[in-house]
Amino acid sequence: MGDERPGSDIAIKVRGLVNRFGDVLVHDHLDLDVMRGEVLGVVGGSGSGKSVLMRSIIGLHEPNEGSIEVFGEEIRNRDAKELRHLQKNWGVLFQEGALFSSLTVAENVQVPLREYTDMSQTLMNEIASLKLDMVGLPEHAAAKYPSELSGGMKKRAGLARALALDPPLLFLDEPTAGLDPISANQFDELVLDLQKSLGLTLFMVTHDIDTLRATTDRIAVLVDQTIRIGTVKSLVHDKHPWIQEYFAGVRGRAALA
């Protein structure tokens, strides 16, 4: 939203990203573009650096080399104040929701509002209610503490908090991991609904092939310290062994369908 400068249809632009832990090279001059309004799925084996990539983009991890731009603004080498300002542009849903355990669900959703605006408590209560409604949480969940919620509800609450400031960009870390297939489907639909109605750009780390097929526009596969991008259809024909194996199931299912 806003920011209509020319050529700004790229939401995230990663160039020459290098991440190294000791002798282990995780990313070797990795390039990635995420378009505005697209849903990008990120997959890869364990230790292939999916989380590190996400943490690098959102400024939780300082990469060894490379540049990362989000909406045309460089993320790296920013001081805390500038980074804070940039961070308003995105919401993050962590794997287990990462809700603050000492606050109720409604208070969790209000944390970003309290941090970045000086809204009246009444308006914050109204907005918290709106966001909880948007992610499909029942009214009575608002006053509950995270420890009283089921896994799926925690994720929904985490999503509501990520959406509190209406960021144009949303990072999801394994959004459907640990959910039963029905809840996972519902969560996929929810995410997709929100993405469409709010015009979000989604960066989604996931392993769930159903989620990938149902929601993503493009898929970035992390193999050999770099990235291969394509759609489910095009990646099925990729010759790389890991990708072959990963999508073998999909192809089988597609053939059956």
Partner 1 sequence: MTTGDRAWVQSERLPKGVRLIFGGDWTTTEIVPLDAQLHKLVEESSGPIEIDGSELKSLDSAGAWLILRTKRQMEEQGNKVTSLTLPDDYLPMIEIIERDHNAPPVKIPPRRTITKYLADVGEYTLELLVQGRAMLGFLGRVTVEAVQAILRPTREIPWPAFIRQIEETGLNAMPIVGLLSFLIGIVIAYQGADQLRRFGAELFTINLLGVSMLREIGGLMTAIIVAGRSGSAFTAQIGTMKVNQEIDAMQTIGINTVEVLVLPRVLALMITLPLLTFYADVMGLIGGAVMVYFDLGFTAPIYLRQLESAITPNTLWVGMIKAPFFAFLIALVGCFEGLRVKSNAESVGQQTTRAVVESIFLVIVFDAFFSVMFSILGI
The contact set with partner 1 (CB under 8 A) reads 1-3, 71, 88-89, 101-102, 104, 106-107, 110, 113, 116-123, 125-134, 139, 142-143, 145-147, 163-166, 168, 196-198
Can you read off the two tokens belonging to residue 21? Answer: 């832990």
> Of 46 and 121, which has the nearer Cβ to partner 1?
121
> Least separation, in Å, of the C-beta of 78 and partner 1?
15
Query: What residue type is assigned to position 251 of the chain?
Result: R
Contact 84, 97 (CB under 8 A): no
**Please, what is the minimum distance in Å from the beta carbon of residue 104 to partner 1?**
7
Q: Is 244 exposed, middle or buried (0-12, 13-18, 19+ CB in 10 A)?
A: middle
Residue type, 93: L
Name the 3-class secondary structure at 90.
strand
What secondary structure letter does DSSP report for 231? -
Nearest residue (CB) to partner 1, 43 versus 132: 132
For partner 1, the closer of residues 166 and 180 by Cβ is: 166
In angstroms, the CA 110 to CA 73 distance is 27
Q: Smallest distance from the beta carbon of 152 to partner 1, in angstroms?
A: 17
CB 157 within 8 A of CB 190: no
- The owner of tokens 């949303």 is 170
CA distance 171 to 205: 8
Query: Between residues 145 and 242, which has the closer beta carbon with respect to partner 1?
Result: 145
| Cβ density class 214-229: b for 16+ within 10 Å, e for less | bbbebbbbbbebebbb
Of residues 116 and 242, the one with the C-beta less far from partner 1: 116
CB of residue 202 vs partner 1: minimum separation in angstroms?
16
Q: How far is the CB of 24 from partner 1 (least distance, A)?
A: 27
**Nearest to partner 1 of 132, 227 (CB atom):** 132
- Min separation Cβ 31 and partner 1, Å: 24
